[in-house]
Structure 1
Amino acid sequence: MAQKDPISVIASSAGDDAFALTEAAVALSRALATADKPALAAALEGNFQLWVGIRTLVSRSDNPLPQDVKDNLIRLSQYTAQKTFELHDGVDEDTVESLINTNLQIAEGLLEGQAKLT
């Protein structure tokens, strides 16, 4: 089996991660806009799980990202977890918007990084 070029693997992963973050942001936004509490709860859970996955991946010793990027992503995962748990006490539109914006900004950064690699 042929081994993939490391740059293409990183670029592919970045694109997939950006897509997942964008999907989560859209789900949060739709649920917030429609005031659909079950959909919002599901979107928050999905977003939380996504960030748990990101934290797990960047914490791996074989992750090629620079340490400062890993540290920032870990901090963001902690932030999203904290904000998600705070929302269990009631919906705060500003907090949900903050989670949406965080996802979109990180997705944009991943795509910009991917463009530099290709």
Structure 2
Amino acid sequence: MSFQNGIIGFGGLVVQCVVNGFGFMFVAGFTTTNKLYGILELVAVALGYSMVTFTGQNLGAKKYDRIRIWMISGIVELCMRISVALFLPLLIGETGIYFAEVAA
């Protein structure tokens, strides 16, 4: 888990170096987006840590069937979340928040 977090942190550093070249308005928008993403990512990270703990405890107790059931339900939940994230902008349409025009 720490290796994964290190890779993600290094990737964020590289992206920030590239973004800084676009000017202060772009940096402000990017920073705001990162704050929102951090809030949304918090749920996924917490779920990942809980799955590691759950799996470790059940491996130690030799309850492999519980791990299999948890893994299948996790995959089903992941597919549902991905489908909502992909199709929600299509359901909102051009009048929704994703396609709102900025007044000049």
For Structure 1 versus Structure 2, the TM-score category normalised by the shorter chain is 0.3 to 0.5
Find the structure with the greater CA-based Rg.
Answer: 2
TM-score, length of structure 1 as denominator length = 0.41
Larger RCO of the pair (alpha carbons < 8 Å, separation 6+): 1
TM-score, length of structure 2 as denominator length = 0.45
